[in-house]
């Protein structure tokens, strides 16, 4: 395995562009149908869902909030409590911070669609309905992404998105890898 390269699979629509590659793979929340090394959970809702519907066969990186849910449900699952921040990072941002601690130098982001769009729809919403979110939350997340990207300018980040988006400039170490959808490819 290439220890320098990692892949984060978030819950946005652009997760569909990921295909298995050599590197360390982290999925977010209930996205455990993708082959991965670890699943990251910061909220209690995925833990509550698994307690009712069966546990995934995976190791978790979790927050103290998720750990409390595991303990409350008395769930037997392998986990490491690594997300210990008071800042309101989203799950993928927490994963990036942990990957930086572990020395990863190339980080690919799939399914992190609020990096370029306002739609905060998550594939997890189908399994776990949630109350309506603040429709401007993406603005705060983008500011936090900027801070995360600037933490270590020697790390290269690749944002995987569809073509023809309004790409936001996040800095010299952040690159877009734009993908054609299969329908767009067949029209060419």
Decide if pLDDT at 186 tops 50: no
**Which residue has tokens 């988006």?**
165
Structure tokens at 6: 């990692």
Nearest by Cα to 6 from 116, 96, 141: 96
Pairing mode, strands 38-41 and 79-81: unpaired
Domain residue ranges in the chain = 5-37+89-187
Tell me: pLDDT of 70 over 50.
Answer: yes
- CB contact at 8 A, 147 and 134: no
Q: What local confidence, expressed as pLDDT, does residue 49 receive?
A: 92
Q: In what order do the strands lie in the sheet with 79-81?
A: 79-81, 60-62, 38-41, 24-28, 5-9, 106-110, 156-162, 174-179
- Over 60: is that where the pLDDT of 183 sits? no
Assign domain 5-37+89-187 to its CATH architecture: 3-Layer(aba) Sandwich (3.40)
Give Cβ neighbours of residue 44 (< 8 Å, ≥ 6 apart): 65, 66, 68, 69
Q: What is the average pLDDT value for the chain, to the nearest integer?
A: 89
pLDDT band at 11 (very low <50, low <70, confident <90, very high): very high
């Amino acid at each position: 395995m290439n220890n320098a390269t990692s892949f984060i699979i978030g819950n946005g629509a652009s997760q569909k562009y990921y295909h298995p590659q050599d590197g360390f793979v982290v999925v977010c929340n209930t996205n455990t149908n993708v082959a991965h090394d670890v699943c990251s959970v910061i909220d209690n809702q995925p833990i509550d869902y698994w307690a009712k519907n069966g546990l995934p066969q995976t190791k978790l990186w979790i927050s103290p909030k998720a750990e409390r849910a595991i303990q409350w449900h008395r769930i037997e699952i392998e986990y490491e409590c690594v997300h210990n921040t008071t800042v309101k990072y989203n799950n993928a941002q927490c994963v990036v911070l942990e990957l930086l601690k572990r020395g990863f130098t190339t980080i690919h982001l799939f399914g992190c669609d609020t990096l370029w769009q306002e739609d905060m729809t998550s594939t997890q919403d189908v399994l776990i309905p949630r109350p309506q979110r603040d429709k401007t939350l993406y603005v705060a997340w983008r500011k936090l992404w900027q801070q995360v990207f600037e933490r270590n300018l020697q790390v290269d980040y690749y944002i995987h998105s569809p073509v023809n988006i309004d790409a936001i400039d996040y800095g010299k170490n952040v690159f877009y890898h734009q993908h054609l959808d299969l329908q767009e490819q067949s029209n060419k």
